[in-house]
Amino acid sequence: MKKRYLLLLLISISSLAQFKPADFNNAMELMYGSSQQKALSNLEALEKKYPKEAQVIFLRGFYQYRDGDQNGAMMNISNAIKTNPKFAFAYGARAKLFSAKGMLEKAILDMTVAVTIEPKNTEFYYKRAEYYSKNQQNQEALNDYKKIIQLTPIDFNAYYEAATLTDLMNANGDVFFKEAYLVKGIQKYSVDFLYAKYMMNAKRFDAAKPVIESALADEKNFDGDDLQIAAIIFYKTKEYQKSAEYFRKAIAKKPGDINFRCNLASVYIDLKDWQKVKETAEGALDLDPDYPLSNMYMAIGLKWTGNEPLGLEYEAKAKRLNAEQNKN
């Protein structure tokens, strides 16, 4: 499913008057890129040309953040704010640093300034809601998700976040999905998927099943993690063949995820298809021979396909690995 992917602070910089947005965007792209030397060379050139510009001071702080120097990043980003108090982007970056240090109230204050400067920037509301939630200010977080819905009614993720938070507050979160279904132009399959996921998290598997089936009409838009959610819902409603089918599809989308394979092996146990248990465990062991669960599934598969002695060896290995890893 196409999701919203948030970079550190991918937002508008329309409020920055003396520095070309194209130069700033190019510098940020280099920061996110794979070449640290290119990012540094570009930054140094900008510092020579614009030594007192808030955006350039910010870029030095961002570079320090990328390089692991959080204290230096905090200092330069704060200096960028002092240079240009209307620099909303910098408040958002500093809020992230505050949050990483556990200083959630300061993070919220910075995001509140950012929201005041750019009141229609939904990314700011998402970040502030995140910090409110971490600070156990659930009602304030919910208010921000409602504001996002008001600003961008087709943002299906906001309905999911609002519903999840409402459920956490022991109220009925379904109302947000009912509202979402009425919005013209919203991606229905995305709403279906998120509603099914929401109900799955609430252990309402029977109610989730027809909704996930509706979502799967647009299956091509789903990634491996999404397909695993469908597989889990089918498993919990005892549709084991469909569960196995969607775990296999999840593996095809994300072949390096060992948990998908272990979950599929578990489904095959319910189906009593011991050869498939063994084959699936072999695939998991190819990814990581020291993963306890895949060794245990291999033990089960071997025992039920006539090789109990080797199965006992894998079982002993699984128990040993589990004990060692839990100890560490």
* Residue 75 covered by a domain: yes
Instruction: Report, as an integer, the average pLDDT of 317-324.
Output: 94
Q: Within 10 A of 212 (CB to CB), how many other CB atoms are there?
A: 25
Confidence (pLDDT) at 4: 43
Confidence (pLDDT) at 275: 98
Confidence (pLDDT) at 8: 42
pLDDT exceeding 90 applies to what percent of the chain? 80
Q: Select the more confidently predicted residue: 63 or 297.
A: 297
Residue whose pair of structure tokens reads 């030397």 in the numeric block: 37
* Residue 289 covered by a domain: no
Instruction: Report, as an integer, the average pLDDT of 177-197.
Output: 98
Average pLDDT value over all residues in the chain: 92
pLDDT tens digit string along 69-82? Answer: 999 999 999 999 99
Phi and psi torsions of 50, nearest 5°: -130, 65
Rounded distance, CA 264 to CA 52, Å? 58
CATH classification at residue 36: 1.25.40.10
pLDDT tens digit string along 206-238? Answer: 999 999 999 999 999 999 999 999 999 999 999
Asked whether the predicted pLDDT for residue 83 surpasses 50, the reply is yes
Asked whether the predicted pLDDT for residue 10 surpasses 50, the reply is no
Rounded distance, CA 296 to CA 284, Å? 11
Confidence (pLDDT) at 224: 97
* Residue 30 covered by a domain: yes
Looking at the structure of the chain, the number of domains it has is 1
* Residue 169 covered by a domain: no
* Residue 286 covered by a domain: no
* Ordered DSSP codes for 130-145: HHHHHTT-HHHHHHHH
Residue whose pair of structure tokens reads 């062991």 in the numeric block: 285
Q: Is 187 helix (H, G, I), strand (E, B) or coil?
A: coil
Q: What global pTM score does this model have?
A: 0.86
* Residue 150 covered by a domain: no
pLDDT tens digit string along 298-309? Answer: 999 999 999 999
With cut-offs at 50, 70 and 90, classify the pLDDT of residue 85: very high
CB 271 within 8 A of CB 279: no
In which domain, by residue range, is 75 found?
A: 1-117
* Residue 223 covered by a domain: no
pLDDT tens digit string along 241-251? Answer: 999 999 999 99
Q: Within 10 A of 131 (CB to CB), how many other CB atoms are there?
A: 26
With cut-offs at 50, 70 and 90, classify the pLDDT of residue 1: low
CB 292 within 8 A of CB 321: yes
* Ordered DSSP codes for 190-238: HHHHHHHHHHHHTT-HHHHHHHHHHHGGGGGG--HHHHHHHHHHHHHTT
Confidence (pLDDT) at 18: 60
pLDDT exceeding 70 applies to what percent of the chain? 94
With cut-offs at 50, 70 and 90, classify the pLDDT of residue 35: confident
* Residue 86 covered by a domain: yes
Q: Within 10 A of 169 (CB to CB), how many other CB atoms are there?
A: 12
Confidence (pLDDT) at 328: 62
Instruction: Report, as an integer, the average pLDDT of 110-119.
Output: 98
